[in-house]
Amino acid sequence: MDHSASSAPTPSTAQGGAPDRAVAVEADPWEVQDAQGYAGDVSPQLAYQWWQAGHALVIDIRSDAEREWVGFVPGALALAWKQWPGMAINPAFDEVLQAALPSGIKALMLCRSGVRSIAAARRACELGIEAYNILEGFEGDCDTRGQRGALGGWRHCGLPWKQN
């Protein structure tokens, strides 16, 4: 299944037509938000724009199982930050990241919800890489039913993704 980029994203709505809840990115989606220990937080839209312009590389830090079952971003570097089972930090993370990222290219860290990717962005910055966290991650926040996919995130924004 291929989900290509489409028109501008809209917030998800509850049954009554009102927004279910505010999307995590309330600031201008085209601005970088300040962060501690890494270059900053960016919206999925800004991350995609930088990536398409050749200024950055999307690094999907989710586990292989997450990418396989939930979906993935075609062309992104698949590099788990933590490995299943046990969710131990990937011992090859530093080496693979440094080898895969051309000099002067930003790293855009993507996880499920935009939380694990903060730690990966911090580690990349410790390695001398200009690294950003993609807010909301691939699936976004949980909605009122405790489900992901309807509130923010790469998929919800209509950006390219595939599912096996």
**CA-CA distances (angstroms) from residue 4 to 57, 64, 73?**
18, 22, 10
- pLDDT band of 59, cuts 50, 70, 90: very high
pLDDT at 137 over 70: yes
Q: What would the pLDDT profile of 26-45 be if each residue is shown by its tens digit?
A: 557 778 989 999 999 999 99
The mean pLDDT of 47-60, rounded to a whole number, is: 97
Residue-wise pLDDT tens digits, 64-113 = 988 998 899 999 999 999 987 888 999 999 999 999 999 999 999 999 88
Q: Is 87:135 a contact under the CB 8 Å cutoff?
A: no
Cα→Cα distances 23→9, 34, 39, 106, 134, Å? 11, 18, 22, 25, 14
Q: How far, in Å, CA of 144 to CA of 22, rounded? A: 12
Q: How crowded is residue 134: how many other Cβ atoms within 10 Å of its Cβ?
A: 29
Average pLDDT of the segment spanning 114-127? 95
| Calpha distance 24→20 (Å, rounded) | 12
What is the pTM for the complete model shown? 0.79
